[in-house]
Amino acid sequence: MSALTREQTDRVVAIALDLARDGDTRQLAEFVDHGLPVDAADASGNTLLMLAAYHGHAGTVRALLDRGADPDLRNDRDQSPIAGALFKGADEVVAVLREAGADLDAGTPTARAAADLFGRTHLLAG
């Protein structure tokens, strides 16, 4: 079997990014389980995890973390998945990322600054 062309690879990644945005955990997990890098990202550096977190899909975030996704990879704007989840009010996603050891002081703004800004400091307590 031959390797995928660049165009085919780009299409597979685009589909996976849409699955992450949509929270289609089962299909996205199949892509990763069949060889798609778990930290695949779009042209702006938004990883599968970042997109799932930003769109509030805790189950998808958990599945990606279980497959080795890096909870601290930041996009090209230096935003972290946990700060994105705080911005969007995705409390369950914040809890999942905290359990995974997400760095609360990484990125711009940091998760701590985002929590303070949006009145969600209670999510980072403890």
CA–CA dist 6, 73 (Å, integer): 24
State residue 2's pLDDT score: 55
Render pLDDT for 71-125 as a digit per residue (tens, 0 to 9): 999 999 999 999 999 999 999 999 999 999 999 999 999 999 999 999 999 999 8
Please check the confidence at residue 29 and state whether its pLDDT lies above 80.
yes
Q: CATH for 6-124, among 1.25.40.20, 3.20.20.10, 3.40.50.300, 1.10.150.120?
A: 1.25.40.20
CA–CA dist 96, 82 (Å, integer): 9
pLDDT band at 1 (very low <50, low <70, confident <90, very high): very low
State residue 108's pLDDT score: 95
Name the residue type at position 6: R
Q: How far is CA 93 from CA 8, 36, 88, 90, 100, in A?
A: 31, 23, 10, 5, 11
Helix axes 58-66, 91-99, angle to 10 degrees: 20
The DSSP secondary structure of 100-119, one letter per residue, reads TT--TT-SSS-HHHHHHHTT
Render pLDDT for 36-47 as a digit per residue (tens, 0 to 9): 999 999 999 999
Render pLDDT for 62-84 as a digit per residue (tens, 0 to 9): 999 999 999 999 999 999 999 99
State residue 3's pLDDT score: 80
